[in-house]
Amino acid sequence: MLRVLVSFLFCLPLLAQAQTLKISTLYPEGTSVVTQLKEAGDAIQAGTEGRVKIKVYPGGVMGDDGAVMRKISIGQLHGAMSQAGAFARQYKDSQVLNLPLAFNSYEEVDYVRKTLDPIIQQGFEDAGWVTFGAADGGFAYVMSTDPVSNLEELRQQKLWLPANDTGSAKAAKVFELSPIMLNIGTVLTSLQTGAINAFAAPPVAALTLQWHSRVKYITDVPLLYTYGILAISKKHFSKMTPADQQVVRDILEKTFAQMDTESRTANLKAYEAIQQQGLKLVTPSAADIKVWKDYAQQATDELVEEGEVSAAMLERLQSLLNEYRAANP
């Protein structure tokens, strides 16, 4: 009996290491992102023999990005799966992939990401966040109830932009827009009531959240590239044993590699699907696109001046784009 008691007491520290990582996301229940996160959680639980579990809180039940960050800071949550803009304050250079009109094609995105993805991941790590790779979010396009073919027409819209996204807000100011900043959960209702009549979002998001059903046009200009990440506070992540940490990293990195590929395919299909469901494509003239790009360059310059993105990171992006464009004229 004494030997059994001693063995039990010896195991108590190991039992205390069991941890449930509580992850919030705005992605609704039933979406592929939530499903894959839960499947990864099952694999992690099995791989750590029950010492690590993942609990996913979908659909924004834990609040908006600001509320989630506060809950992570006090330990009520441990991380979040969101668009990278939600973590911009944690590592500002992560916004380099989100700069307005930086990319002309997915081929350019892929070429740049091969170099910048590891740098961004390490940047988050140095800032106290563990991430597992990026999941393609697709290009954001303007979708509206009235046709938008130029910047002046966009300025006349009641345009939604996400709350707490400082980079987008500052870029909108340069474009001389007056956006309505709301939480994602209120967008559909605001479209239904007419509080907003336009938004910028990737097609797959518009389709999944049913926003496309409340607009009539999509402007064929890839305003900015978006991507999602799962970020877990290093303070909580480090409570696991090194071996369990590695299991979590291995499984989630594999999950995000798969998610990245599948999300790209889903976005391309969604771009076609929303047009098949009635949205009319508006194609701006070359002259109008030049105006958009001139303002985008001004917005990028101001974001660097204000410290939202470092000059060094912007230089890396531009160098990679120049490399690709020189080889693919």
**Can you give the pLDDT at residue 223?**
93
Q: What percent of the chain has pLDDT over 70?
A: 95
**Could you give the domains of the chain?**
9-327 (3.40.190.170)
**Can you give the pLDDT at residue 7?**
46
Query: What is the mean pLDDT of the segment spanning 82-102?
Result: 92
**pLDDT higher than 80, residue 2:** no
**Can you give the pLDDT at residue 73?**
93
Is 80 strand, coil or helix?
strand
**pLDDT higher than 60, residue 176:** yes
Q: For the chain, what is the total number of helices (H) and then of strands (E)?
A: 12, 11
Query: What is the mean pLDDT of the segment spanning 190-210?
Result: 93
Q: End-to-end distance of the chain based on CA atoms, in angstroms? A: 79
CA 160 – CA 178 distance, rounded (Å): 9
Predicted confidence band of residue 17 (pLDDT cuts 50, 70, 90): low
C-alpha angle 65-67-68 in degrees, rounded to nearest 5:
65
Range from 47-56, 86-95, 308-317 carrying the lowest mean pLDDT: 86-95
**pLDDT higher than 70, residue 3:** no
For 166-175, write each residue's pLDDT tens digit.
777 888 888 9
**pLDDT higher than 80, residue 80:** yes
Q: Which two tokens stand for residue 256?
A: 């995000």
C-beta separation of 21 from 78 below 8 A: yes
C-alpha angle 119-120-123 in degrees, rounded to nearest 5:
90
**Among all chains, which residue has been given the structure tokens 């939600």?**
86
CA 192 – CA 205 distance, rounded (Å): 17
**How much is the mean pLDDT over the chain?**
91
**Can you give the pLDDT at residue 184?**
83
Q: What percent of the chain has pLDDT over 90?
A: 81
**pLDDT higher than 50, residue 1:** no
For 281-295, write each residue's pLDDT tens digit.
999 999 999 999 999
Query: What is the mean pLDDT of the segment spanning 53-77?
Result: 93
Beta pairing, strands 135-144 & 280-282: unpaired
**Can you give the pLDDT at residue 165?**
73
**Can you give the pLDDT at residue 4?**
43
**pLDDT higher than 80, residue 71:** yes
For 128-163, write each residue's pLDDT tens digit.
999 999 999 999 999 999 999 999 999 999 999 887
Model pTM score = 0.89
**pLDDT higher than 60, residue 202:** yes
Predicted confidence band of residue 46 (pLDDT cuts 50, 70, 90): very high
For 219-240, write each residue's pLDDT tens digit.
999 999 999 999 999 999 999 9
C-beta separation of 168 from 184 below 8 A: no
For 252-278, write each residue's pLDDT tens digit.
999 999 999 999 999 999 999 999 999
**pLDDT higher than 50, residue 8:** no
**Can you give the pLDDT at residue 85?**
84
Rg (CA), the chain: 21
Q: How far is CA 38 from the centre of its chain?
A: 18
Q: Which two tokens stand for residue 112?
A: 């740049």
Question: CA-CA distances (angstroms) from residue 228 to 3, 66, 221?
Answer: 51, 17, 21
Range from 17-21, 191-195, 232-236, 299-303 carrying the lowest mean pLDDT: 17-21
- Show the beta-strand stretches assigned E in the chain: 19-25, 52-57, 79-83, 129-130, 135-144, 159-162, 180-182, 198-201, 217-219, 224-233, 280-282
